[in-house]
Amino acid sequence: MNKILFVYPHNFLEPNMGTNIRVYSLAKELRAKGFKIDLFAFRNFISKYDRFEDQNKEKLVNQLYLYDYRNTSSFKRRKGLGKYLNKLFSRGELDNWVTPGMQRQFNEIVSSVEYDYIVMFYAYTAELLSPANYKGTASKVYFMEDLLSVSHFISRRTKSIGRSLDSEIQRVSYFDKIVCISSDEKTLFEKLLPDKSFYFLPHLIGRKESGKKAVAQVTKVLFIGYDNEYNIEAMRWFFQNVYSRLLTGIEIMVVGKVVKHINVDYPNLKKVEYVESLDELYKTVDIVICPLRNGTGMKIKVIEAMSYGIPVVCTSRGVDGLPDKNENGCLVEDTPEAFAEAINRLATDKLFYKKCQDRIDAYFSETLDWNVHNVMLARLFEHKSSVNAVRFNELPYSVFATKEWCRV
CATH at residue 109: 3.40.50.2000
84-97: buried (b, 16+ CB within 10 Å) or exposed (e) per residue? eeeebeeeebbbbb
Q: Dump pLDDT digits (tens) for 173-205.
A: 999 999 999 999 999 999 999 999 999 998 888
Residues 156 and 277 grouped into a single domain: no
Is residue 57 exposed (0-12), middle (13-18) or buried (19+ Cβ within 10 Å)?
exposed
**Cα distances (angstroms) measured from residue 24 to each of 300, 378, 384:** 12, 17, 23
Q: Are 185 and 238 in the same domain? A: no
Residue 274 forms part of a structural domain: yes
Rama region for 7: left / alpha / beta (φ>0; ψ in -120 to 50; rest): beta
For residue 65, tell me if it sits in a domain. Answer: yes
Q: How confident is the model at residue 148 (pLDDT cuts 50, 70, 90)?
A: confident
Cα–Cα distance, 285 to 283 (Å, whole number) = 6
363 and 375 in a single domain? The answer is: no
Q: Show the domain range for 256.
A: 220-368
The answer to whether residues 237 and 111 belong to one domain is no
pLDDT in tens, 43-72: 999 888 989 999 999 999 999 999 999 888
Tally of domains in the chain: 2
* 234 and 153 in a common domain: no
- 180 and 227 part of one domain: no
Alpha helix segments (H runs only) across 173-299: 183-192, 229-237, 278-282
> Does the residue 214 lie in any domain?
no
pLDDT tens digits along 275-305 = 888 888 999 999 999 999 988 778 989 999 9
Q: Do 61 and 40 reside in the same domain of the chain?
A: yes
- DSSP secondary-structure letter at 113? B
Clarify whether residues 376 and 363 are in a common domain.
no
User: DSSP labels for 33-69?
Assistant: TT-EEEEEEEESSS---TTHHHHTTT---SEEEEEET
Q: Residues 359, 312: one domain?
A: yes
Residue 212 lies inside a defined structural domain of this protein:
no
Helix and strand numbers, DSSP H then E, in the chain: 14, 14
My answer on whether 268 and 190 are in the same domain is: no
